[in-house]
Structure 1
Amino acid sequence: MAYEERRLDTPLPNTGANVTTNDTTPIATRILQATGFDTFGPAFATALCGANGRTEVTSYDQALAMVKSKGTELWRAAVDRVQGRRAQPAGSTYPRSDDRMLYWARVQMTKALRQWKPSFALTDVQKEELQWQLERHSRGQLDINLPEGNAPGGAKYRRMIMSGFDTFTLGVPGTPNTGLRNGNPSGATALEMDGREFTLSDGSILHVESYILPVSYDPFNLGMQEDTIGPYFRPGPKRVDASITISQGSANVFNIEAFNGRFHGPSAGNDGKIYCPAGNERLPSTVLPIGTISGTAGVDPITLPNSGCDVYPPVRWLGYQSANPWMKDFPPQFSNGTLPVPAMVTGSSRSGVIRPPGATSQGTEGFDVTWHTNYTYFPDCTQPATVSVPSNGVMNSMPDLATVAPPPATSCARQGGGGDYLSNESAYRNTVLRDVFALDIPAGHIHVPVMTNFFGGTTATGGGTRNDNAITDARFEAYRTAIVQQTKNLLVIIGNSLTFR
């Protein structure tokens, strides 16, 4: 069983002052039953293996077509649930806005596919391709459908693509822990925004398409993100007007990232893999071969020539080989966001957003918004010493631009404003691709506040009695609702910036 799939059998701990359920059912099962998504894994397994002695899939081509169809079906069901078009299970009062059922249902399906023993031979490449296509289709990556021309009635379309992430920091498989109940508001926002349209200030129509990214390095190394958005960066009637990456960041604040770094650090992905080990500042210029990541039927294998800390966009999109030999500035060490920051930090995005219990920000509504201008760099790309530049600290307005210095041109990236995990990497890959196609569009990263806040503690932190066995409570739901609403407001602000172009 794969590392992530082992969490399917892990329950929450039965701790806290208000444990009344004592439920040892795995949390994945509880979430899937509460949302009605407990049918997708079993139905997928039946479609693969057949029922009542009948074989459903008899060839690789049939398997590939079925995997694509079932993956898309899961994505559309998750979007429909969040947007109110899918019926609730009988008697369920579970909130529609949750993102977690998509993650756990997908993991059930990858497990079934991995354990499948068909009656015909499959090569290793074909097995990997089936998993790859299930991942991509169930994340909405091949469901993007930006409109052409003008809207009915003649209004101009403005086309936006946005990404969210899976839930993460889920703990060690098999060990009960409260991290298992984490949600990701960026994923919830992606499900809420997919296909949505908004009338902008000039009468044009903002059309939004969304997709979900995994919290694991291998799919990024294989070019999953570029393959998703790249087709819409090319010239044509569906070319994107704005490309936004979104992830979960720190407490009680929206960070609009200024500088994205070409580096990822020592944090493990959801699959337990680490490519940049802690305890050794693996310099980006140090050549330490670590082997090859398998490709799929449509993707070349990727050989990482160094410690695996640097980010290497795929040659098919970058236009040149950046990995071997390593080149300092191709692609660049830092890539800037080009979002309409002054409009985004004014505070207007907070209007009408009910602040969750225990949240702290200025004013009385929503969360603070800041232009996040911090980063860390190697002054000498051959030496382990680093320099950290703090953010400006100004909330809900622009700082003095004279106080914001970009990274030195002679340096190498150690962290972007969004740190050194996959959120920064998604931001970097997005803005680098923008520049590959020489696009003058809003492209950048929004770190939304952390949403996993349950009752427990003092009145100042939300009050209530702690129950570590609860899969949701009113505080948890209030955070998701507020974060998704304010993120939506920020995306519309970005859309309105397009009316001046």
Structure 2
Amino acid sequence: MATALTFTASPAPAAAAESSASVEDRTVRLTAFPVVEIQRLAQDVPQEILRRSGFDAVAPAFEGALRDARTPAAAARTVERHGTALWKRAVDRAQGRGPDGGDLNRNDDRPLYWARLGMILELRQWQPEFTLSEEARTRLLGKLERSSRGQDALTFADKKNTKKSAKKLKRIVVTGFDPFTLDTDVRISNPSGATALALDGTVIRTAEGPALVKAAVFPVRWQDFADGTVEQTLRRPLAQADLFATVSQGRVGRIDVERFNGAWRGGFPDNEGAEFTGPVPVRDPATQPQWTTTSLPYGAITAAATGPFPVYDNTSVTEIPAGGTTAVVRPNGPTPGSEARLGGGGNYLSNEIAYRATLLRDRLGLDIPGGHIHTPVLRFGAGNTSPWTGTVTDPVFEQNRADIIAQVRTIIQVAIEAS
């Protein structure tokens, strides 16, 4: 039986704390690293978030474990074990299990994000005793990404093998995202990622019986989506699920159930600073529709009292009409033969995960409710809005995130009962 991992850093015999030389070395490595997303780790805010959550010991522990991996097989086991442990630790912390590890609020999704980047840095720079090709290192990085995001564990027991007493258990898939727009404010949290952590493995009691939620988070990177990470992760669980909801952060002060999703990328920079504009790249583009549609029960969701934020059935899109050349806003959805330019959720990765998940639903021939929920923007309290002088958290920020998590949970409950 595998031994549970702990992340208490092991100090060198001559010192109880990390030396200033090693801190300086790590800073140099970060600032010189040729990946923008990892370079941000050198800033004070990410280091404070890691320290105040106890997740600052994750990357050093992983680096030590890599040093002990003497073969490719041992390296693969180490990566999977530590990646899975990071996801479990983040879920446990969000759901009130295990030690706090610091004074940062438990519903915070940011420790997971920054700790994962620290692990990625160690794995990218690791020089093992055996020969490790770049292709093999890339496979290990993929394993680390999937395991630390909950993607490898996003599965349910086969319905055919389910015991009779548990046949009424509903299966719900929820996805969230990493923080993004970090160059605007590196303190940013993503309530969709926090929601995924809060709900993963939980059971929601509904009028239709209990519903088990399995959740995962996705990167805010165009290339990962082009490489098929959504389809690879969701293909099996959607085939097992009774309902799915992709979740992301949307507008200020409101929740939107996005009715239509468009097959267009708008080019906004991702977490690596990359920009892509053009059709959403999918397998078999010859059969690719310009639009997909939610099958969530939006009428029931918008009519229910689910929490403090107003909930809207958002039907607005932007299209180039059939035979036209100029983009037009359509408040009531796309017209026949039009080309997508903005889905209800825009043309960034929120729209794209909604498009890909609902297209996968349709291509698999699944008759289940599913679609996208846009949460309110998570905001800091008054007097703490400056990215340069503000603190990493405050009571308004924490309560706002807790309210969003609770309301999304209730929306899912309503969707199950209405379906």
**Fold match by TM threshold 0.5:** yes
Q: Is the 8 A contact 2:238 2:244 kept in 1?
A: no
* Partner of residue 27, structure 2: none
Distance in 2, matches of 1:57 and 1:146, equals: 31
Q: Is the 8 A contact 2:173 2:215 kept in 1?
A: yes
1:134 aligns with 2:139: no
In the superposition, the TM-score normalised over structure 1's length comes to 0.74
- CA deviation after TM superposition for structure 1 residue 482, in Å: 0.9
- State how 1:139-218 maps to structure 2 within 5 Å: 139-149=149-159, 153-154=165-166, 156-171=168-183, 179-202=185-208, 204-218=209-223
**1:197 alignment partner AA:** V
- CA deviation after TM superposition for structure 1 residue 454, in Å: 2.8
* Partner of residue 23, structure 1: none
* Partner of residue 27, structure 1: 45
- State how 1:36-115 maps to structure 2 within 5 Å: 36-49=54-67, 56-89=68-101, 92-115=102-125
Q: Is the 8 A contact 1:455 1:465 kept in 2?
A: no
Q: Which residue, 477, 483, 489 being the options, matches 2:398?
A: 477
- Judged with a 3 Å threshold, the aligned counterparts in structure 2 of structure 1 residues 474 and 152 are, in CA distance, closer, same or farther, namely farther
Q: Please list the CA deviations of residues 392-419 of structure 1 after superposition, one character each: whole Å capped at 9, or x if unmatched.
A: xxxxxxxxxxxx3x31221111110000
**1:227 alignment partner AA:** Q
* Partner of residue 30, structure 2: none
- Judged with a 3 Å threshold, the aligned counterparts in structure 2 of structure 1 residues 384 and 273 are, in CA distance, closer, same or farther, namely farther
Q: Which residue, 384, 387, 404 being the options, matches 2:328?
A: 387
- Judged with a 3 Å threshold, the aligned counterparts in structure 2 of structure 1 residues 154 and 117 are, in CA distance, closer, same or farther, namely closer
Determine helix, strand or coil for the equivalent of 1:170: coil
Q: Is the 8 A contact 2:255 2:374 kept in 1?
A: yes
* Partner of residue 37, structure 2: 4
- CA deviation after TM superposition for structure 1 residue 247, in Å: 0.1
* Partner of residue 451, structure 1: 378
- CA deviation after TM superposition for structure 1 residue 57, in Å: 1.5
Q: Which residue, 442, 447, 450 being the options, matches 2:369?
A: 442
- Judged with a 3 Å threshold, the aligned counterparts in structure 2 of structure 1 residues 170 and 197 are, in CA distance, closer, same or farther, namely same
1:311 aligns with 2:311: no
Q: Is the 8 A contact 1:454 1:473 kept in 2?
A: yes
**1:233 alignment partner AA:** L
Q: Is the 8 A contact 1:160 1:241 kept in 2?
A: yes
Distance in 2, matches of 1:72 and 1:497, equals: 34
- CA deviation after TM superposition for structure 1 residue 452, in Å: 2.6
* Partner of residue 430, structure 1: 357
Distance in 2, matches of 1:40 and 1:465, equals: 29
Q: Gapped runs of 5+ residues in structure 2?
A: 1-32
Q: Please list the CA deviations of residues 180-206 of structure 1 after superposition, one character each: whole Å capped at 9, or x if unmatched.
A: 00000000000000011122213x211
Distance in 2, matches of 1:152 and 1:199, equals: 19
List, as ranges, runs of 4+ consecutive aligned residues in structure 1 with deviation greater than 3 Å: 147-155, 464-467
**As a proportion of its length, which structure holds more helix?**
2
Distance in 1, matches of 2:69 and 2:405, equals: 40
- CA deviation after TM superposition for structure 1 residue 259, in Å: 0.3
Determine helix, strand or coil for the equivalent of 1:349: coil
Q: Is the 8 A contact 2:196 2:217 kept in 1?
A: yes
Q: Is the 8 A contact 1:375 1:416 kept in 2?
A: yes
Q: Is the 8 A contact 1:456 1:466 kept in 2?
A: no
- CA deviation after TM superposition for structure 1 residue 132, in Å: 1.0
- Judged with a 3 Å threshold, the aligned counterparts in structure 2 of structure 1 residues 465 and 420 are, in CA distance, closer, same or farther, namely closer
- CA deviation after TM superposition for structure 1 residue 425, in Å: 0.1
Distance in 1, matches of 2:289 and 2:363, equals: 11
- CA deviation after TM superposition for structure 1 residue 124, in Å: 2.1
* Partner of residue 299, structure 2: 342
* Partner of residue 262, structure 2: 261
Aligned length: 384
Distance in 2, matches of 1:109 and 1:93, equals: 22
Q: Is the 8 A contact 1:155 1:205 kept in 2?
A: no
Determine helix, strand or coil for the equivalent of 2:255: strand
Q: Please list the CA deviations of residues 200-223 of structure 1 after superposition, one character each: whole Å capped at 9, or x if unmatched.
A: 213x21110000010001111111
1:371 aligns with 2:313: yes
Q: Please list the CA deviations of residues 46-67 of structure 1 after superposition, one character each: whole Å capped at 9, or x if unmatched.
A: 1112xxxxxx122222212211
- State how 1:270-289 maps to structure 2 within 5 Å: 270-276=271-277
Q: Is the 8 A contact 1:373 1:417 kept in 2?
A: yes
**2:114 alignment partner AA:** W
- CA deviation after TM superposition for structure 1 residue 155, in Å: 6.0
Distance in 2, matches of 1:164 and 1:94, equals: 21
* Partner of residue 251, structure 1: 252
- State how 1:219-238 maps to structure 2 within 5 Å: 219-234=224-239
Distance in 2, matches of 1:271 and 1:415, equals: 22
Determine helix, strand or coil for the equivalent of 2:407: helix
Q: Is the 8 A contact 2:70 2:129 kept in 1?
A: yes
Determine helix, strand or coil for the equivalent of 2:279: coil
Q: Is the 8 A contact 2:154 2:237 kept in 1?
A: no
RMSD between aligned residues: 1.9
Which region of structure 1 is more displaced relative to structure 2, 63-72 or 367-376?
Answer: 63-72
Q: Is the 8 A contact 1:260 1:427 kept in 2?
A: yes
Determine helix, strand or coil for the equivalent of 1:88: coil
* Partner of residue 133, structure 2: 123
Distance in 2, matches of 1:469 and 1:369, equals: 30
- Judged with a 3 Å threshold, the aligned counterparts in structure 2 of structure 1 residues 433 and 384 are, in CA distance, closer, same or farther, namely same
Higher RCO, 1 or 2 (CA under 8 Å, sep at least 6)? 1
Distance in 2, matches of 1:429 and 1:105, equals: 28
Distance in 2, matches of 1:195 and 1:491, equals: 14
- Judged with a 3 Å threshold, the aligned counterparts in structure 2 of structure 1 residues 483 and 85 are, in CA distance, closer, same or farther, namely same
Q: Is the 8 A contact 1:147 1:159 kept in 2?
A: no
- CA deviation after TM superposition for structure 1 residue 153, in Å: 4.8
Q: Is the 8 A contact 1:455 1:473 kept in 2?
A: no
In the superposition, the TM-score normalised over structure 2's length comes to 0.88
- Judged with a 3 Å threshold, the aligned counterparts in structure 2 of structure 1 residues 88 and 233 are, in CA distance, closer, same or farther, namely closer
